[in-house]
Amino acid sequence: MKKRYQAHRESIRKEVDQLDITAAAQLHNQFTFFSANMEHFMPVLPPSEHEARFRETIFHKRLSRLDLSYAAAGYMPRIAGWDAAWADSLKQQPAIVACAHMGAHMLIGMLLAKAGVPLAVLVVGRLLPSLTEIWKAAAHADPTLKLPEIIDAGARTSLRRLMNLAKAGVSLLIYWDGEEHGGNTNSHVCVPLLGQHIVLQRGMPFLARTTGLPIYPLTAFRQRDGSVGVSRGGCIRVEDYRGPDFFHYTMQAVVDSFSSLLIHFPAQWNNWTHLHRMIRPDRLFADAGRELSSRYGVLKGTDAYYLLKRDDFHAMEISEGLLAKLGNATNV
């Protein structure tokens, strides 16, 4: 099965390398946003390298699905850094496992399930059917596997269900970097990331405070030798951060654990294509006197084109004729 996995992985690599990122509007727009987000959050990376990093991000995102399907069938790449004793301790002391859409993130739930940890996984509703089928296949291949509860994040009863499961001794696997917009300040917190900021939901620290569960940041990343590295951050306890800033400090501790790894494996984070939805444009830091590689990016709509201002992510509709004229201008 290892050879089949490696062959499948290589076919994905070739497919991504051959993608024409300008042909389809969706892919074109994703790259436009990716490049603008990279320029704000990783200014040391030359814009000439953005396309290569974009392809790497697509590659790792597609590998995530491959990881889980092969893990369900019984094969996983070599895992480095997995703490079996810590996983075993979750059977007596459940916790919130905070992970990001990074690298081999889909293997985290499988590793916990194979360790026999009672687990609930919070997922976006559209993924519920496919993930349920994959987990059923995994249980069929390995009858000793402890199937997790898969919870629809969009369901009105999801919070209550998570709280009840936590009280019953079940650990909660939650993605802290879900796509959010910072409009509602009562339900979000703004925390630093890579010299900028991101806006995140307060749901995870709320759960921790309500249930008393500790939080463990956990990140899985792919390494050059084909192995998957697992890094666990320090335990974050409710009593560590008391007072009105509890939500902010808790999420900051989670993000700090993640950002130190992101520097080493930037292309493995799925969120680069839509990170602009997790910021407040008026709070973006800009070095005085520094100019972006270009002032505008181009977005393709169904029947129109749009100019994206890369400095603040505002978009304006333009005609195809004007677009052609701008294409001949400098610093566009």
What distance in Å separates the CA atoms of residue 162 and residue 171, rounded to the nearest whole number? 9
Distance CA 7, CA 9 (A): 5
pLDDT (mean) for 10-15? 96
Give yes or no for a contact between 75 and 60, defined as CB atoms under 8 angstroms apart. Answer: no
Q: Quick check: 36 and 103 in contact, CB under 8 A?
A: no
**Closest residue by Cα to residue 135 from 73, 220, 66:** 73
Contacts of 140 (CB under 8 A, 6+ apart): none
Main-chain phi, psi angles of 226, to 5 degrees:
90, -5
Q: Per-residue pLDDT tens for 196-236?
A: 999 999 999 999 999 999 999 999 999 999 999 999 999 99
Res. 169: pLDDT tops 90: yes
- Pairing outcome for strands 96-99 and 215-222: parallel
Q: Which residue has the tokens 């030798």?
A: 225
The Cα–Cα gap between 99 and 232 comes to 10
- 32's tokens: 């436009």
Which 3 state secondary structure label does DSSP give 327? helix
pLDDT tens by residue, 276-311: 999 887 788 766 555 555 556 778 877 777 878 777
- Which position has the token pair 């990343």? 221
- Measured CA to CA, the distance from residue 269 to residue 60 in angstroms comes to 8
Q: Whole-model pTM above 0.85?
A: yes
Q: To which H or E segment does residue 249 belong?
A: helix 246-262
Distance of CA 50 to the CA centre of its chain: 19
Tens-place pLDDT, residues 49-88: 999 999 999 999 999 989 999 999 999 999 999 999 999 9
Write down the pLDDT at residue 19. 94
How confident is residue 322, by pLDDT bands cut at 50, 70 and 90? low
Give the confidence band of 330 by pLDDT, cuts at 50, 70, 90.
Answer: very low
- For residues 55 and 138, give the distance between their C-alpha atoms in angstroms, rounded to a whole number: 30
Neighbours of 239 (CB within 10 A): 7
Query: How far, CA to CA in Å, does 59 sit from each of 16, 105, 275?
Result: 6, 14, 18
Higher pLDDT, 181 or 146: 146
Taking only the tens place, the pLDDT of each residue in 87-111 is 999 999 999 999 999 999 999 999 9
Q: CB of 34 within 8 A of CB of 44?
A: no
